[in-house]
Amino acid sequence: MASMLSSGGPSLGLTCVLMLIFTVLLQSLGMAVTYVYLTNELKQLRDKYSKNGIACLLNEDVSSWDPNDEENLNNLCLQIKWQLRKAPKVEKLWARK
């Protein structure tokens, strides 16, 4: 029995602690990689939609917008511009152009 206790390998407690530390480090690394990836994707989406929104508001002409046309109803930018154009205060700004 004494020969079984004095085996040369690490103790059971040390093995469990090392496995726990390895698991926590591996999870931390996975979370860090996921955070960096998703932050980058979110930044790209924010830049894309910000540029598209500004381009939409500056470039497209609303005068040809037909509320009965289904294609125009699916275009959110044209809908927003049409609503802005119908607003009383904004109407004066559009008239200045």
The answer to whether residue 4 sits within a structural domain is no
As a whole number of angstroms, the distance between CA 4 and CA 13 comes to 16
Q: Is the domain of 46 the same as that of 72?
A: no
Count of domains observed in the chain: 2
Q: How confident is the model at residue 20 (pLDDT cuts 50, 70, 90)?
A: very high
Q: Is the domain of 75 the same as that of 90?
A: yes
The answer to whether residue 74 sits within a structural domain is yes
The answer to whether residue 3 sits within a structural domain is no
Buried b (16+ CB within 10 A) or exposed e, 24-56: eeeeeeeeeeeeeeeeeeeeeeeeeeeeeeeee
Q: Is the domain of 74 the same as that of 46?
A: no
> In whole angstroms, how large is the CA radius of gyration of the chain?
31
Domain range spanning residue 52?
12-59
The answer to whether residue 7 sits within a structural domain is no
* pLDDT digits 0-9 by tens, 67-90: 666 666 677 777 777 777 776 665
pTM exceeds 0.75, yes or no? no
The answer to whether residue 2 sits within a structural domain is no
